[in-house]
Amino acid sequence: MTLMTLMTTGVGVDVAEAKENKAVLVLLDGIPADVLESVPTPHIDAISKAGGYSRAYVGGEAGGLSESPTISAVGYQTMLTGTWANKHNVWGNDIKEPNYDYWDIFRMVKTQNINLQTAIYSTWEDNRTKLLGDGLVEAGGKKVDYSFDGLEHETEQYPHDPASDYIRDIDAAVTTDAAQHLRTVGPTLSWLYLQYTDDIGHRFGDGGHMQKAVQKMDERVGEVWNAVQERSRESGENWLVVVTTDHGRDMETGKHHGGQSERERTIWIATNSQRLDESFFKNPAMVDILPSVIDHLNVSVPASVREQLDGQSFLSSP
Ligand SMILES: [Zn+2]
């Protein structure tokens, strides 16, 4: 390599670092699209206004090989791996035997470059330990650099009450930590998971309680959105924010989910991306989120992994 080549390469690296691409996924549990759209959510609206909002679907191909229960952990793993349950093999919240041959997005990022920072902020610890299988050799080893989770096991600080106030409070603590970490460290890839709306949905179904819980979630999204905007302004980093949910709820009561009804299969995606192509507005699938984030982060995925993905990026060429 000549000196000139070295210098050119050096300049290229500096430029790339100055416009580093980063992404944060936000999953708010169990909010039907019709509920989200009927409640004032100024913060999610602000993200959508910067990019776009679309209804989307989960549950795989109804009646087909990839049909997947509209159950929480099934949905999370679908988002994390970009595949349906017939591949990732998570069929319920007990997460019996995930098939780690279908790589999660954290593994993809860490395989691209072990030095890229990752984080998870979560009201449910199993997301890291079981779904991502962080630290397990068969799941690709250690993939999460920073985690703030497990508070659901701190029963003295967060005594479990039937109204799920403890989940509301854990969501608050997780969000505060996420906002702080995003602002100060700004990992390349992170995932914020909040649970309260699902608990309220199961308890009360459709109505005022659920609407209030959704507004609470929107405030939490606002904390994170503010942090990302602040960091983005100060660092020049190019941030992608994707906010979504894991399933809808039954039409009759709004208390249940797991089946294949239209309302249970209907989710939504809000993102600040200014690269949305028309596929984003034509009923995208939850499996399209991973390819889009990978696309934004410029992560190259091994061909054997990529060809198993069930979705496609909804971003246009940069
Ligand atoms: Zn759920």
Four-CA torsion 229, 230, 236, 242, nearest 10 degrees: -30
Query: Cα of 102 to ligand 1 centre, how many Å?
Result: 21
Nearest to 268 by CA among 131, 75, 105, 66: 75
Name the residue among 138, 143, 141 with its Cα closest to residue 99. Answer: 138
User: Can you give the pLDDT at residue 318?
Assistant: 81
What is the whole-number distance in angstroms between the Cα of residue 191 and the centre of ligand 1?
15
In which residue are the tokens 């998870």 written?
120
Cα 308 to Cα 268: distance, rounded to the nearest angstrom: 24
Task: Give all strands (DSSP E) within the chain, no chain letters.
Answer: 21-28, 52-57, 118-122, 146-148, 189-194, 238-244, 266-271
How many other CB atoms are found less than 10 A from the CB of residue 80? Answer: 25
Gap from CA of 116 to ligand 1 centroid (Å): 29
Rg (CA), the chain: 19
**pLDDT tens for the chain, residues 1 to 318:** 334 434 444 444 444 444 799 999 999 999 999 999 999 999 999 999 999 999 999 999 999 999 999 999 999 999 999 999 999 999 999 999 999 999 999 999 999 999 999 999 999 999 999 999 999 999 999 999 999 999 999 999 999 999 999 999 999 999 999 999 999 999 999 999 999 999 999 999 999 999 999 999 999 999 999 999 999 999 999 999 999 999 999 999 999 999 999 999 999 999 999 999 999 999 999 999 999 999 999 999 999 999 999 999 999 988
Cα of 281 vs centre of ligand 1, distance in Å, is 23
Ligand 1 centre distance from Cα of residue 55 (Å): 17
Quote the ligand 1 centre to 10 CA distance (angstroms). Answer: 46
306 CA → ligand 1 middle, Å: 27
Helices and strands (H, E) in the chain, number of each type: 13, 7
Instruction: Tell how far the Cα of 211 is from the centroid of ligand 1, in angstroms.
Output: 16
What letter would DSSP give residue 254? S
Instruction: Give the C-alpha distances (Å, rounded to integers) separating 74 from 190, 257, 293.
Output: 19, 12, 19
CA distance 212 to 232: 30
Report CA(182)–ligand 1 centroid distance (Å).
Answer: 24
- DSSP tag of 82: S
Q: Ligand 1 centre from 272 Cα, in Å?
A: 23
Cα–Cα nearest to 306, from 169, 133, 108, 153: 108
pLDDT (0 to 100) of residue 38: 98
List helix spans (H) across 185-288: 196-204, 208-235, 262-265
Q: How confident is the model at residue 138, as a pLDDT? A: 98
Question: How buried is 4 (Cβ within 10 angstroms: 0-12 exposed, 13-18 middle, 19+ buried)?
Answer: exposed
Centre of ligand 1 from the C-alpha of residue 42, in Å = 23
Residue-level pLDDT at 317:
87
What's the pLDDT score for residue 220?
Answer: 98
Span from the CA of 126 to the centroid of ligand 1 (angstroms): 13
Per-residue pLDDT, 305: 97
Model's pTM, two decimal places?
Answer: 0.94
Which of 241, 286, 271 lies closest to 52, judged by CA?
A: 271
